[in-house]
Amino acid sequence: MAATTEEFLEELGRRGYEPLLTRGKGTLDLELTDGRKVSRWLVKVDRGNVTVSRGRGSADSVIRSSKELFDKLASGRANPVVALLRGDLTFEGDYNLAILFQRLFPGPPKRRRSASR
């Protein structure tokens, strides 16, 4: 499981093909803030073929969040739908592409059962 945004996105780029994105085509601009610093990532999707790069460019969708929140999303410690509803994650552009992208986030970490039972 990816622990940070960088690991999550770099691993996605190394895959090259992601079956969960076969219905999508477009570019996502991820804008992540960390205090005054803003980092940008471009995720290009073409029917499952994925490329990831740092920087900005022309995009069909823009997703904005704090880096702290995106780290939590990338590790399964936060839910993207809940973050969107709370306004912690904002989105503009092609909604279908964002819905497909959110499928890539891992589920919540499994809890260990207590041995006291």
pTM of the full structure:
0.86
**Tens digit of pLDDT per residue, the chain (117 long)?**
446 999 999 999 999 999 999 999 999 999 999 999 999 999 999 999 999 999 989 999 999 999 999 999 999 999 999 999 999 999 999 989 989 999 999 988 877 666 555
Residue 58 DSSP label: -
CATH superfamily of 5-102: SCP2 sterol-binding domain (3.30.1050.10)
Per-residue CA distances from 55 to 23, 41, 43, 49, 116 (Å):
25, 5, 10, 19, 50
CA distance linking residue 13 with residue 33, whole number of Å: 21
